[in-house]
Amino acid sequence: MDSDKAVTLVIGGARSGKSAYAEGLIETALEAAPGPAVYLATAEAGDDEMAARIALHRSRRGARWTTVEEPLDLVGALAAHGKPGAPVLVDCLTLWLSNLMVAGRDIPVETARLIEQLRCVSGPVILVSNEVGLGIVPDNALARSFRDEAGRLNQAVAAMATRVVFVAAGLPLILKNDG
């Protein structure tokens, strides 16, 4: 996060360490310029297992973090919280995508809105997303549609991001670093 307007995409598989890596990037930035950090959570605790995942993520963050839960209006939340000197972590894009699909939203329109907001945001943003296209082709139309939309969303964000990091087994691999 060299620039105050840097956009970083951290991508990887489930339980790859991508969220912890993204949180570490923000913690490092906070050491240099102590201040608030915003955690934009797109997950909803629909069951006990998801509630436990959310609790684990919350337990890793310190008092400098403000958590904002926003399952659908990610663009509005970024507009409200993307301020200079206050890094924002979005966790995660694929849960946001799932929420949009369940709500019947127009995914290409929502993706375009997100990209435009990321171009306008005045503070650093780190977005976490799952790479879901490395496995087998799903056996049903909904899962295939989700996989395809996630791939398009990840490509769009990666294209405009200043940095893209792929995390596997807790290890980061820099795919892009224009900052």
Q: How far is CA 174 from CA 43, 67, 74, 136, in A?
A: 26, 27, 25, 25
Closest by CA to 166, choosing from 21, 2, 4, is 21
Report strand pairing: 171-177 vs 163-168: antiparallel
pLDDT band at 2 (very low <50, low <70, confident <90, very high): very low
CATH of 7-138+157-177, one of 3.40.50.300, 2.102.10.10, 3.40.50.2300, 1.10.260.40: 3.40.50.300
- Catalytic residue check, 57: yes
- Residue 27 pLDDT more than 50? yes
pLDDT of residue 1: 43
- Residue 3 pLDDT more than 60? no
Q: What's the distance, CA 55 to chain centroid?
A: 17
pLDDT of residue 34: 72
| Catalytic option among 5, 13, 17, 57 | 57
For residue 172, the cross-strand partners are: 167
